[in-house]
Amino acid sequence: MELAQAQTIAQRIKAELAPHCERIEIAGSIRRRKPEVKDVEIVCIPKTIRGGLFGDLIERSPGFRRTVDQWTPIKGLSHGKYTQRRLPDGLVLDLFTATPENWGLILAIRTGSAEFSHNVLAAGWVRRGYSSRDGTLYHGDEPVEVREEPDLFRLIALPWVEPERRL
For each of the chain's 167 residues, which pLDDT tens digit applies? 999 999 999 999 999 999 999 999 999 999 999 999 999 999 999 998 777 677 667 778 899 999 999 999 999 988 889 999 999 988 999 999 999 999 999 999 999 999 999 999 999 999 999 999 999 999 999 999 999 999 999 999 999 999 999 98
Which pLDDT belongs to residue 61?
Answer: 87
Number of C-beta neighbours around residue 14 at 10 A = 16
Which pLDDT belongs to residue 38?
Answer: 95
Residues 22/45, Cβ–Cβ less than 8 Å: yes
Q: Helix H segments across the chain?
A: 3-17, 28-31, 62-69, 103-111, 114-116, 123-127, 149-155
Domains by residue range for the chain, with CATH? 3-97 (3.30.460.10), 103-165 (3.30.210.10)
> 6 φ, ψ to 5°?
-65, -40
Is pTM beyond 0.85? Reply is yes
Which pLDDT belongs to residue 72?
Answer: 97
Which pLDDT belongs to residue 58?
Answer: 72
Which pLDDT belongs to residue 54?
Answer: 73
